[in-house]
Structure formats: structure tokens, C-alpha cells
């Protein structure tokens, strides 16, 4: 069998199958595949191809050969030497086209079953060319274990925080807060939780925390034999927040905390709306917020869907993977070190925090469909 490019024989292989890579210049080419049999006969097939030498696909999420949840964000971009640009991008899962988006940027979520999957991100340009990037992934068994409707469960603790140290206190002079569960008036499920913040001390905060695992857990995940926590490396916090007055909302914070073997890990993530205007992540070692490039843009008087995906590395470093806000995924991929904690600390907590503004204006938010997934 042989390959002709623009009427010139480019390659020949013996036998009944052909598997060959050929190099062509940029542009449109006539390609012919021909076979010759032992009886002097031959047949051929012809097609036209378009080569874009400058084309390429860049996938920022997920990483190649990574372990991912059953619902995985795919974030990618493409370029092409075609003067008309990139027409669309898509994701194949095990050879089947799963989703397609128009344009040169892809930001979508793909649902996959547990196990290994060969996924491919492909881009098609307006000149008939296409490029691909293979991204093999492993979906955690069962998609991980999940604590659902966390906002409505028992076990929540609450404190105030006063500037400048932000140490927790209860009661606190100058800051008021409340938490009222099982609300149906502003709710997606009829089981939302209302959080309020007020007082007289500017920039005071209210912290709400639930021990979802280990010490203090009241929902059957106390992990008393210390066998569960060491096996966990991947975490997703998914929730809906209703913002009643964005203009006075200083910041909203969502945290995942893990403590085991004298190591503390806090994946702190805040929408710093009236501060730097972006999403910040927490540095455990220097104990300060680090701004990302992700803008803090929430809907006022409406529900906001927020998903945080993080990972504990093999050396206990903390990896901030993605932030998804109202369907748009932003790749962070920043790693920070852990910090030391007392050896008897053991467990995980999920935090929600409201921060007060310059005059500590009274503020109310609602949280619903809060889900914590771990594997």
C-alpha cells in the first residue's frame, strides 16, 4: 500500500494495512491511498486535507493522567494558522464525542463513570483543519463519597471574628451574627440556611463551621480508628449562595480544612468583592491571602453556584485546582505548603464565612445544596 501527496508517491508499506505518518506543508493537499495486489490489480481512495502548522490545543484542566471526580471541568483553548480562526472545540470520551463548544475556548463539564478513560480535546478551524490533545484521566471509584445538604445538617459551630487579629470569639463586642436552618422562603430545595452578619465594629466577620469528619462529627463520620483520613486526597465543595445585597458584601469565604498526623491544611478560598475584587486563596505558612486572577463576579439578588476543587498531594502540600462560578471554570493550579497543628487534632471541617464592610452594614445571605465530596 502507498500514500500519494499531490500526485507524488510519499510512502509505501508491504502488506494489507498501512500505518504511516507523513509530513505536509501548510495548506490544502490532495491525498491518495492506493493498494496493489499480487494479480496486478489496484484500487485507491482520494481525499482533500488541510494542514495548519501553527495550530495547537492547550488544555489547562484536567491534567494528563490525573485522578478526577465523576463530573470533571474541561478548560482549554486553541489556535490555528487558518486566517478565519478556530470554529469549535470538543471533548471525546473513549472515542465518543461528548460535548462541543463554538469558538477557540472551551469551558465545560464532562460526566464520566468510574475508571480509566481516554479523553481527547479537539479543535476544528474554518479552513477544514483540526488538532487534538490527548488527556487520559482516571475517575475515582463511584465518583467519591458525598455529604449532601450540608447546610441543613447538625453539628454547626459559629463564632465572631474581630479585626485586626481575626481571632474567634463568642460572644464578641461589636459583631452580631445568626444562623437559621431549614428555610423555604428563599431556597432551591425548601431547606436552605440563612446567615446574617451585623454589629458596630467595622470589618468584623462571622465564621460558621461544620466538622464533616473526625473529631466533633455527629453524622457518623468520626473516623475513630484513624483509617479514613489518610486515604483521602481529593475534595470538592459545591454550594449555592443567594446574595441579597452585593453592594455591602465585603467578602464571602468557603474553606476546607484537614488535620492529621500533626499536619494542618486549610484550603481557604474567598470572593473578595469589596477588597481586591478577585478570588483569593489562603497561604498556610505565612497566614495571608494571595490574590488570583479570577474576578469575583457574583449575581446580586440571585443564586450563585460555586464549586471548589482541591487536592492533597502525597507530601501533604495543598493544591488549589479550580474555581467554578455560575458555570464558568477558572483554573488555579497553585500549590502551598501545610502548617503544624497539635498531634491530637484529627478531622476535616467545612467553613462558610461572611465578612463585614467599612461600616459593618447588616447583611444576609442564604446557602443551599451544599455538597462535600471526598475520595
Give the residue extent of every domain in the chain.
2-51, 56-140, 145-374
Residue where the block lists cell 465572631:
160
How far from 308 is each of 253, 265, 269, 276, 321, CA to CA, in Å?
11, 15, 8, 20, 8
Rg (CA), the chain: 26
Which residues neighbour 251 within 8 Å (Cβ) at sequence distance 6 or greater? 270, 271, 272, 273, 274, 275, 296, 355
The pLDDT tens digits of the residues spanning 293-339 come to 999 999 999 999 999 999 999 999 999 999 999 999 999 999 999 99
For Cα atoms 257, 291, 287, give the angle at the middle one, nearest 5 degrees.
45
Count CB neighbours of 261 within 10 A.
12
Percentage of the chain surpassing pLDDT 70?
Answer: 96
Better-scored residue on pLDDT, 46 or 50 = 46
Same topology between domain 56-140 and domain 145-374: no
Which residues neighbour 242 within 8 Å (Cβ) at sequence distance 6 or greater? 186, 192, 302, 303, 304, 365, 366, 367, 368
> What's the pLDDT band for 140 if we cut at 50, 70, 90?
confident
Give the Cα separation of 17 and 29 in Å (integer). Answer: 22
φ, ψ for residue 170, nearest 5 deg: -165, 110
Q: Which CATH class is domain 145-374?
A: mainly beta
Q: Where are the beta strands (DSSP E) in 37-103?
A: 42-51, 56-61, 66-68, 71-79, 86-93, 96-102
> What's the pLDDT band for 51 if we cut at 50, 70, 90?
low
pLDDT in the model for residue 32: 83
Give the Cα separation of 374 and 69 in Å (integer). Answer: 9
* Grid cell locating 284: 498556610
- Domain 56-140 grouped into CATH 2.60.40.10: yes
The pLDDT tens digits of the residues spanning 243-293 come to 999 999 999 999 999 999 999 999 999 999 999 999 999 999 999 999 999
Among 154, 122, 162, 117, CA closest to 136? 117
Q: Is the pLDDT of residue 141 over 70?
A: no
Count CB neighbours of 343 within 10 A.
11
The pLDDT tens digits of the residues spanning 186-208 come to 999 999 999 999 999 999 999 99
List beta partners, residue 27.
51
Amino acid at each position: 500500500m502507498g500514500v500519494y501527496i499531490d500526485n507524488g508517491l510519499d510512502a509505501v508499506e508491504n502488506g494489507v494495512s498501512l500505518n504511516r505518518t507523513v509530513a505536509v506543508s501548510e495548506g490544502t493537499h490532495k491525498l491518495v491511498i492506493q493498494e496493489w495486489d499480487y494479480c496486478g490489480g489496484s484500487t485507491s481512495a482520494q481525499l482533500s486535507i488541510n494542514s495548519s502548522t501553527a495550530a495547537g490545543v492547550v488544555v489547562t484542566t484536567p491534567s494528563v493522567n490525573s485522578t478526577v471526580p465523576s463530573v470533571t471541568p474541561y478548560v482549554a483553548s486553541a489556535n490555528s494558522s487558518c486566517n478565519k480562526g478556530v470554529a469549535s472545540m470538543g471533548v471525546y470520551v473513549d472515542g465518543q464525542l461528548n460535548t462541543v463548544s463554538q469558538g477557540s475556548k472551551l469551558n465545560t463539564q464532562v460526566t464520566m463513570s468510574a475508571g480509566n478513560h481516554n479523553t481527547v480535546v479537539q479543535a476544528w478551524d474554518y479552513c477544514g483543519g483540526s488538532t487534538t490533545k490527548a488527556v487520559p484521566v482516571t475517575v475515582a471509584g463511584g465518583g467519591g463519597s458525598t455529604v449532601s445538604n450540608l447546610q441543613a445538617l447538625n453539628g454547626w459551630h459559629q463564632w465572631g471574628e474581630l479585626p485586626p487579629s481575626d481571632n474567634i470569639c463568642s460572644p464578641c463586642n461589636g459583631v452580631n451574627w445568626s444562623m437559621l436552618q431549614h428555610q423555604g422562603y428563599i431556597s432551591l430545595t425548601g431547606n436552605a440556611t440563612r446567615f446574617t452578619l451585623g454589629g458596630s465594629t467595622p470589618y468584623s466577620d462571622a465564621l460558621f463551621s461544620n466538622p464533616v469528619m473526625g473529631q466533633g462529627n455527629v453524622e457518623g463520620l468520626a473516623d475513630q480508628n484513624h483509617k479514613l483520613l489518610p486515604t483521602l486526597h481529593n475534595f470538592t465543595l459545591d454550594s449555592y449562595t443567594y446574595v441579597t445585597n452585593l453592594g455591602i458584601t465585603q467578602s464571602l469565604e468557603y474553606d476546607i480544612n484537614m488535620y492529621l498526623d500533626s499536619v494542618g491544611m486549610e484550603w481557604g478560598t474567598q470572593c473578595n468583592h469589596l477588597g481586591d475584587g478577585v478570588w483569593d486563596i489562603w497561604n498556610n505558612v505565612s497566614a495571608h491571602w494571595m490574590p488570583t486572577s479570577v474576578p469575583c463576579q457574583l449575581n446580586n439578588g440571585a443564586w450563585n453556584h460555586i464549586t471548589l476543587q482541591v487536592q492533597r498531594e502525597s507530601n501533604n502540600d495543598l493544591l488549589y485546582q479550580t474555581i467554578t462560578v455560575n458555570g464558568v471554570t477558572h483554573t488555579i493550579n497553585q500549590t502551598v505548603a501545610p502548617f503544624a497543628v497539635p498531634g491530637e487534632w484529627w478531622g476535616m471541617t467545612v467553613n462558610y464565612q461572611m465578612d463585614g464592610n467599612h461600616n459593618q452594614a447588616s447583611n444576609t445571605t442564604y446557602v443551599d445544596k451544599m455538597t462535600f465530596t471526598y475520595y
